Structure 1
């Protein structure tokens, strides 16, 4: 689909939906702030066009935000409206400087539990507030006040009917065949407005000022102390920046498109505030309500945000009477469904499994009771406390087995956990044989001294202590070479680890010792995950086809774990062409794996991964495989790859071309073609450079290697 077609089919209708919602919100925020009504509309236009064009989030919609209402109202009382506009200009300059200094990316450190909790809290706030509008009343800015007043709200049945029609349309329209061509919010507003016009229902509609441009006020320098003015500028800049970044991070979790560049987003927000203040508009921030509506309405590019700003300007200036036909209850019905969808029940199960439910719940309650920034701050504080607890938490298990005492220590061993460890060690009777097993990822000096002092004293009293560890934190510290960074316990040569740990020069049996080491050091850590997979079955995210080369580690380079990767390995990462015959002599194991992955496991992605220094490609290029051997027969499946680079002696080019050829071979399988045509399956070519330890994507047309950073 071309870019123009995408804009016309998806972004154009989505922008109109967002525009319809932005008008009443912008007017309401301006009125609540004590600013001229036109100031809210100016901010909406500038936020849509300027941030849409310059910002780092393709789907975020910016404009005046409810979270800034109290701050702006206070500044108007203190400095007056024209001076507040000038403060907004200064805040925009500060935001640009923050974006240039790359502080925006810090928002990526935010816990997902906090982000989901923030979205859920906002969703509840939206639903409770808009219920008043559907009942024919007006919403208060405080969610608790809205809740307490709901039972006393006298329903206006015309508004209730309009709101109910909008809600039902929002829910049912996506179930209509090919209904997604027109966004549900647009259909809901159109149907509800049409009903109100035809039946002449007496309901509140959108209200715009008769002469909007008369309310414009150009900025003036604030009068007062430099400290007060500077504090106001910094306050607006920081609050607007935090709210925008939180919204951008949250919006990224609602779509599968490009991720936001948060530093660029700050620069775009700063430019918008500078322009909005200069034109007499309210401060601009990224707004989660409009942004989530934008995603829900089917936007595909930043054109939706830009167009929504254009529509606001055109309609307010030339077609205000058309907008004034729209019932407020219709817009409220749309917002209720959008808000309800922000409370995603599926997140609760996932967060519970990861032990993050408390962070989520605290954030939700904080946003509802105290406000957006306060709720997020409380959620972040709880998440930090939990992280510190996990960092300091050390598991210590002491048990007697076969006449010796076994002490299992896991986690990060820092000074905060030393007391617990020493208490457990001192429980062991003197004169015994003790095996101290350390499967830890970090040990500080206090922990080392505690263990070493106990070991020395215990052996002095006739005991025997053996320290077994995989990452040699204790051994290196005794040798005067302590580690300084956390380790990755599953990376490294077995024989190197064996020599460091046991200090035994004689050869050992790596297969049996490796299995025993897994059972002793790792099995109990991974057992709960494997037990759950055993009960629930596998649901891998990808079929990964790669070479049998021992230097290629699929789970490591894809950062995947048990149950996440269905893997096929063979010489040269080859996919034999599908042959419509069950009696074919061709190797059918690869084809069987492909069909099982696509038809039974429903994997959404198939990856073919080649690699540098590939022995199979070297044999293919040199023709060194002897005729009549199984290797020679198998490499015939790669002759098409060799033909693609005919005449070259570039081994790495052949390896990349081979990946592209195997993607073509995959498409000879009916199940692959069908799933890809239905949009259920994606084929990806990858290339792993052994020397650089770097993963590239392979361009299937010219075999060019594309760095992942260029796509981020």
Structure 2
């Protein structure tokens, strides 16, 4: 089941009082202690009334938490919206920004009802994380100015430009309070068992206590008139600017919430997030927050991960933390008013820096996506959020186009190997390589392509005709699909070919060694011994693919899972019909897939059985017969020459003949006589295996099982053999 499918699962977690009291109540107190400083800090960073952050924290907890599609996600003032809201407050004023928040909530509701939320999963992670990194740098730059005692401006370049002046005339009290908050936030998690008390609470508490004891001259939280709600007002400005603001807030808040919901799902085993419902909940919260004069709301991974780590099991942890915030503001406003603004700025400074993840950079570097990440982050920092995201998306699309249309061209003597998708964008390089080939040679153009467009076909065909006019010879060897041949017949393909195994891994020599692509120096050896050409093909194509597996097997030795006893018939390929690889099967092959009785003089098969069971500790032994078996035909006709080695060997199959003719064992009446005997022969060899002591002991210990198998060559079908009735059963599908 895909992640998106799981995300639509309902919330079936029981919400009984014992579960809430044991898990959600303690978690809600931890969240409350984190949310207070974060909400005030975000409000201060945006230039909004401090009470706006509290309103959004309460609405995000109580309202969004109650109807959320992601029960363990915690919503509140959006960290990723700090820069956007700050610019909106500067441009439109706070009351108009509240109206924009309300309208953005309506847009989120509409998006949630359309089911468009799944599109967030299609965004390039490099763009998303680059956007978050750019926002984090913007937050950190602005809050650093506040720590120094200044006022943050709307852009990173402006804030960086005023840093030298702020450093020269910094407010000592603000610097001390901010530095203490930053140091506490960074060092507290390293203290043993420190997770019992949230780091943001320690940071703000330490800075507040220090400012109170030393009587530092710092700006503090001011809530004198904050209890009066600021109702939204219609923004004044161009329609385009207002619409852009609404769309920006809605999209960024939605993206942050949905990505946080998906990430939170990976942290717990509870109910999966329902993305559409979550988007509707976020929209409802923003409509209410905007109407009450609050900040835009979004889900946050920092708070959500804390919620999971604190042991929350249901949505009641989010609801209760919203209640505690409201109670604290109404009952203890004087305590909040002791907090230095520089302490809140210090907390936001660290939060901003944490959005720039070094681990994420390393991952994107490994996947060659760092350019998209860096371009997005730099665009957000220098030009703004939307501009940065557009830059990142453009680069991501260009890179995707390049990768989808890129092909590799490798020249090995007179053989040119092309891999990938061959479209007009890559034709120039291919033609340049082809034109460098010496004239008058026999050239093989080997195509491992999943798509070939008309421009590529014409370019190859024009070069081929020109090369052959000058006395050369060109053979096109298509390995994966016949794109060139179909285009040559006027029946070009339309869609890319799905990747699959190389046909030569399972095709007979006659299927491909008779083609004209064999080079002259290879043809003489291939005609005398086709195995030599097969070995050359393995070295060139197959060996690089299987080398990692064989290298590992060479280091650790063999430990096959099965002893596979089958006929020496050349048409039976054990690894093919079992889809197994090197190291999986310990094979024994002989005429008729026979297991001589343990009492016979033959020692070869018995030695292999004992080695497989006693030394290799295989878990099962499979005896595989097949249709059109020459040994079974010889038994039916009695056509072997007395005294020959073959006649002597097939005497081991006499119990199979007796079993076949038994009246109580009708077998598969629809099969030819020789094939019915082949099925009975498999059943008999399973009985013969029980004559070996090591086999009986392993079966009694429960470490070994026996299976019978029958391969229908003409239909390429595999069946299991029922030894009780000498019958066939289809292979059961996996559960």
TM-score class, shorter-chain normalisation, is: 0.5 to 0.7
The yes-or-no answer on 1:484 pairing with 2:500 is no
**1:520 lines up with 2:536 in the alignment:** no
Match of 1:137 in 2: 150
For the structure 1 residues 507 and 333, does the alpha-carbon distance in structure 2 shift closer, same or farther, using more than 3 Å as the test?
Answer: farther
Question: Among 298, 323, 327, which residue is 1:310 paired with?
Answer: 323
CA distance in 1, matches of 2:541, 2:385: 44
Q: Which residue of 1 aligns with 2:37?
A: 20
Does residue 147 of structure 1 match 2:160?
yes
Aligned equivalents of 2:545 and 2:495: distance in 1?
24
Rounded Cα–Cα distance in structure 2 between residues aligned with 1:269 and 1:37: 21
Aligned partners of 1:168 and 1:623: how far apart in 2?
76
* Alpha-carbon offset, residue 388 of structure 1: 1.8
Aligned CA distance change for structure 1 residues 139 and 470 (closer, same or farther; 3 Å): same
Aligned counterpart for 1:244 among listed residues 240, 254, 258:
254
Q: Tell me by how many angstroms 1:414 deviates.
A: 0.9
Q: 1:626 aligns with which of 659, 665, 690?
A: 690
Distance of aligned partners of 1:298 and 1:143 in 2 relative to their CA distance in 1, 3 Å threshold: farther
1:231-270 mapped onto 2 (5 Å cutoff) = 232=242, 235-237=245-247, 239-246=249-256, 248-249=258-259, 256-257=266-267, 261-270=274-283
Query: Is the contact made by 1:292 and 1:338 (CA closer than 8 Å) also made in structure 2?
Result: no
CA contact (8 A) 1:248 1:260 kept: no
Match of 2:480, SS state, is coil
Unpaired segments ≥5 residues, structure 1: 539-543, 556-566, 572-584, 592-618, 642-688, 695-704, 706-712
Q: Is structure 2 residue 376 aligned with structure 1 residue 376?
A: no
- For residue 211 of structure 1, report the CA deviation from its aligned partner: 5.3
Tell me which moved more, 97-106 or 156-165: 156-165
Are the equivalent residues in 2 in contact too, given 1:17–1:297 (CA < 8 A)?
Answer: no
| Alpha-carbon distance between aligned partners in 2 of 1:129 and 1:111, rounded to the nearest angstrom | 28
Please state how far the C-alpha of 1:432 moved relative to its aligned partner: 0.9
* Conservation of the 8 A alpha-carbon contact between 1:59 and 1:301: no
> What is the rounded CA distance, in whole Å, between the counterparts of 2:534 and 2:19 in structure 1?
54
Shift of 1:93: 3.2
Checking the alignment, whether the CA contact within 8 Å between 1:165 and 1:192 is kept in structure 2 is: yes
Please tell me the root mean square deviation across aligned C-alpha atoms, in Å.
4.9
CA distance in 2, matches of 1:93, 1:168: 41
CA distance in 2 between counterparts of 1:236 and 1:425 reads 55
Distance 1:507 1:122 in 2: 68
Q: 1:216 to 1:49 in 2, by over 3 A?
A: same
Report the CA distance between 1:413 and its aligned residue. 0.7
| Cα distance in 2 between the residues matched to 1:396 and 1:387 | 19
Counterparts of 1:643-682 in structure 2, within 5 Å, are: none
Contact (CA 8 Å) 2:40, 2:50: kept in 1 or not?
A: no
- Paired with 1:27 and 1:375, the residues of 2 have a C-alpha distance of 25
Contact 1:470 1:497 (C-alpha < 8 Å) held by counterparts:
no
More moved, 118-127 vs 238-247: 238-247
CA pair 519-452 structure 1, distance change in 2 beyond 3 A? farther
Question: Aligned residue for 1:183?
Answer: 198
| CA deviations over 1:242-277 (Å, ceiling 9, x no partner) | 343146436856884267654333222222223334
Matches within 5 A, 1:201-600: 201-210=216-225, 212=227, 214-217=228-231, 228=239, 232=242, 235-237=245-247, 239-246=249-256, 248-249=258-259, 256-257=266-267, 261-286=274-299, 305-400=318-413, 405-472=414-481, 473-478=483-488, 480=491, 482=493, 484-490=495-501, 494-495=505-506, 516-517=536-537, 519-521=539-541
CA distance in 1, matches of 2:538, 2:615: 34
Q: Distance in 1 between matches of 2:199 and 2:469?
A: 78
Q: CA deviation at 1:148?
A: 1.5
Change (3 A) 1:518 1:168: farther
What number of residue pairs does the alignment pair up? Answer: 569
CA contact (8 A) 2:258 2:279 kept: no
Asked whether the equivalents of residues 53 and 306 of structure 1 are also in contact (C-alpha less than 8 Å), the reply is yes
Secondary structure of 2:506's counterpart equals: helix
Deviation at 1:140, TM superposition (A): 2.4
Residue 28 of structure 1, CA deviation: 4.9
2:120 is aligned, of 107, 111, 131, to 107
Query: Alpha-carbon deviation of 1:38?
Result: 4.7
Q: 1:191 to 1:228 in 2, by over 3 A?
A: closer
Give the Cα separation in 2 of the matches to 1:111 and 1:74. Answer: 31
1:665 equivalent in structure 2: none
Which secondary structure does the structure 2 equivalent of 1:61 belong to? strand
Residues 504, 439 of structure 1: alpha-carbon distance in 2 compared, 3 angstrom cutoff = closer
How far apart in 2 are the matches of 1:164 and 1:460? 80
* 1:399 CA drift (Å): 4.3
Encode CA deviations 1:191-212: one digit per residue, 9 max, x unaligned.
3333333443333322223451
Query: Compared with structure 1, are the counterparts of its residues 190 and 37 closer, same or farther at alpha carbon in structure 2 (3 Å cutoff)?
Result: closer
Given that residues 10 and 300 in structure 1 are in contact (C-alpha distance below 8 angstroms), is that contact kept between their aligned partners in structure 2? no
Q: Deviations over 1:330-388 (max 9, x none)?
A: 33333333333332333434333333232222122112222233222211111111222
Instruction: Check 1:300–1:456 CA distance in 2 against 1; reply closer, same or farther (3 A cut).
Output: farther
TM-score under structure 1 length normalisation: 0.66
Q: CA deviation at 1:103?
A: 1.9
Which residue of structure 2 aligns with residue 662 of structure 1? none
* Structure-2 residue corresponding to 1:648: none
- Give me the TM-score of the superposition, normalised by structure 2: 0.64
| Pairs within 5 Å for 1:688-699 | none
Equivalent position of 1:162 in the other structure:
177
| Alignment CA distance shift 1:3-1:305 (3 Å) | closer
Structure number, greater radius of gyration: 2
Inter-partner Cα distance in structure 1 for 2:131 and 2:218: 33
Q: Give me the whole-angstrom Cα distance separating, in 2, the residues matched to 1:161 and 1:296.
A: 31
For residues 385 and 541 of structure 2, the distance between their equivalents in structure 1, rounded to whole angstroms, comes to: 44
Judged with a 3 Å threshold, the aligned counterparts in structure 2 of structure 1 residues 492 and 436 are, in CA distance, closer, same or farther, namely: closer
* Cα separation, partners in 2 of 1:471 and 1:497, compared to 1, 3 Å: farther
Aligned mates of 2:439, 2:187 — CA distance in 1: 73
Name stretches of at least 5 consecutive residues in structure 2 with no aligned partner: 1-17, 517-525, 564-573, 587-612, 620-682, 706-729
Residue deviations 1:76-120, cap 9 Å, x none? 57xx94x87566545433322212322222222222322332233
Greater shift after overlay, 286-295 or 275-284?
A: 286-295
2-structure distance, mates of 1:28, 1:630: 77
**1:77-88 matched pairs, under 5 angstroms:** 81=95, 88=101
Q: 1:237 to 1:191 in 2, by over 3 A?
A: same
